[in-house]
């Protein structure tokens, strides 16, 4: 179905907003997926197209965080392949079974995260002692969150960020950078499955990619400039907004 220039412009703006939010705290999908469905794309095409455009924005954010020295690439040698494989499996499984249970469960999990972060004002503002050895964290978090991102997705960035802070004692800015790397891995894995299934609308993705790249650059720049206090504000806002949207959708 051909789209008017006005639709492409609005989708570009949606990509810009999502790119900014994703680079800071994750959750850009709550902007882009409804926009794609509003444009008239079937659900499978909307999800596949969303993975393509969001991967581009995430890649730019990762490159900026890497240049700023916020990513320990040695840690990525195990967790990225685990996350990639688990996400590919999750995307494949979602074509076979219903995700209605997760649709009802996830908003309450996100609400717990938001409340916990809200009542812990120092959470993630400075590095603390790890509670879990990194190899074990890589296998458990990579498998569970990678599969979840491929299978359902909403809130994945928030789950990663909280896990990194609570279980590895990571500071919020570094946790944000780390989250972008593993998000990129799961996005690319899901995208591969969607490409094989021919579920990507390339003209729409291109319009959104333009906005994504601008938004990702602005968002990652704000993180590098303002650090953890800024990320905390956006993180809480995104988690509460995503929780409210998912609860509304489940009614």
Distance CA 226, CA 73 (A): 23
Environment class of 98 (CB within 10 Å of its CB; exposed 0-12, middle 13-18, buried 19+): exposed
- Region of poorest pLDDT, from 119-128, 186-195, 241-250: 119-128
pLDDT tens for residues 219-237? 888 888 877 677 777 777 7
Contacts of 136 by beta carbon, 8 Å cutoff, 6+ apart: none
Structure tokens at 14: 């949606």
Q: pLDDT grade, residue 102 (50/70/90)?
A: low
What is the pLDDT at residue 86? 96
Overall average pLDDT of the 125-145 stretch: 84
Residue 188, token pair as written in the block: 């690319």
Lowest mean pLDDT among 161-165, 199-203, 239-243: 239-243
Worst-scoring range by mean pLDDT, 3-12, 103-112, 195-204? 103-112
**How long is the chain?**
251
Predicted structure pTM score: 0.81
Using alpha carbons only, what angle is made at residue 138 by residues 136 and 143, rounded to the nearest 5 degrees? 105
Q: Which residue has the higher pLDDT, 1 or 37?
A: 37
| Domain residue ranges of the chain, discontinuous segments joined by + | 5-250
pLDDT of residue 221: 87
* pLDDT value, residue 106: 57
Element (DSSP H or E) covering residue 131: none
- Single out the residue of 120, 140, 154, 142 nearest to residue 26, CA to CA: 154
If you search the block for the tokens 């703006």, which residue do you land on? 13
Write the pLDDT tens digit of every residue in 48-72: 898 999 898 889 889 989 998 999 9
Mean pLDDT of all residues belonging to the chain: 82
């Amino acid at each position: 179905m051909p789209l008017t220039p006005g639709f492409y412009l609005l989708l570009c703006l949606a990509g810009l907003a999502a790119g900014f939010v994703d680079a800071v705290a994750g959750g850009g999908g709550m902007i882009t997926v409804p926009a794609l469905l509003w444009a008239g794309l079937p659900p499978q095409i909307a999800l596949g197209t969303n993975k393509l455009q969001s991967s581009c924005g995430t890649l730019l954010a990762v490159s900026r965080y890497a240049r700023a020295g916020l990513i320990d690439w040695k840690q990525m040698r195990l967790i990225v392949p685990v996350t990639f494989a688990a996400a590919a499996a999750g995307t494949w499984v979602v074509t076979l079974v219903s995700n209605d249970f997760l649709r009802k469960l996830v908003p309450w999990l996100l609400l717990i995260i938001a409340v916990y972060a809200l009542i812990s004002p120092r959470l993630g503002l400075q590095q603390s002692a790890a509670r879990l050895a990194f190899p074990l964290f890589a296998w458990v978090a990579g498998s569970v969150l990678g599969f979840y991102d491929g299978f359902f997705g909403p809130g994945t960035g928030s789950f990663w960020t909280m896990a990194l802070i609570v279980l590895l004692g990571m500071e919020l800015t570094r946790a944000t950078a780390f989250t972008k790397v593993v998000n990129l891995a799961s996005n690319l894995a899901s995208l591969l499955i969607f490409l094989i299934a021919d579920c990507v609308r390339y003209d729409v993705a291109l319009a959104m990619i333009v906005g994504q790249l601008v938004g990702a650059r602005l968002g990652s720049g704000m993180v590098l400039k303002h650090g953890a206090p800024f990320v905390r504000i956006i993180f809480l806002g995104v988690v509460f907004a995503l929780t409210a949207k998912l609860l509304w959708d489940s009614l």
